[in-house]
Amino acid sequence: MKVSILQFPGTNCEYDTEYAFKKLGADTEIIWHKSETIPDNTDLLVVAGGFSYGDYLRSGAIAKFSPVMKAVTTYANNGGKVLGICNGFQVLTEAGLLPGALKRNEGLHFISKHHHLKVQNSDNIFLKELSDGDIVNIPIAHHDGNYYIDEAGLQELEENEQILLKYTDASGAVQNPNGSVASIAGVCNKNKNVFGLMPHPERAMEVVLGSDDGVNMLKGFFES
């Protein structure tokens, strides 16, 4: 499996992401933001976390204009699988590849800790190794992770099973760290080939680091 990982000025999770997918057996390649193409043999394109362009204006707002994003949009629209993690999620919403937007955290502070998530919909390639209702413990690290979508958009997400993950406590009860609408931590597009989440599964690959729950979150992509 070939995983291509985008790198913008300010990206800081590309090497964590590379490590995670190599650990699972993938071939990886880091793609600089000025590239105008995606490698032809790419099975999964990952928009990694960090602070693209220093998060100026809004998180992901400048990155969406990078040369590579035209190729990303074409790749996604042709059915290619795309995963946006944290800042990558922000970039994909800014680019219109995922619904909704990411705002400043409700408490106006950067949050960095492990947090539990509940799987809402596993009928997709990303979460197919998990089941609806499963609880995972995954690090979060963001300042603008407050997911927003209007009522009509939220209803559409629910009807199309596009809500992937919600923030909870260890028992599965809602525990919202940042004010996200409906405690949403991750969503996908209608075609279920573009995925975005604020938590960092690539940082949860080994028990010694606090959790290896990220392994099963990423393994689904290898089953396509």
| 224 residues of the chain, pLDDT tens digit each | 999 999 999 999 999 999 999 999 999 999 999 999 999 999 999 999 999 988 887 888 888 889 999 999 999 999 999 999 999 999 999 999 999 999 999 999 999 999 999 999 999 999 999 999 999 999 999 999 999 999 999 999 999 999 999 999 999 999 999 999 999 999 999 999 999 999 999 999 999 989 999 999 999 999 76
The amino acid at 198: M
Structural domains in the chain (count): 1
CATH classification of the domain holding 202: 3.40.50.880
Q: How many CB atoms lie within 10 A of CB 220?
A: 17
Model pLDDT, residue 224: 60
Catalytic residue among 86, 116, 142, 188: 86
Task: Using CA atoms of 155, 158, 161, 162 in order, give the dihedral in degrees to the nearest 10.
Answer: 70
pLDDT recorded at residue 223? 75
Tell me if residue 94 is catalytic: no
Instruction: State yes or no: is 223 an active-site residue.
Output: no
**Measured distance CA(101)–CA(90) in Å, rounded:** 7
Domain hosting residue 131, numbered range? 2-223
Q: Is 200 a catalytic residue?
A: yes
DSSP 8-74: -TTB--HHHHHHHHHHTT-EEEEEETT-----TT-SEEEE--B-GGGG-SSTTTTGGGSTHHHHHHH
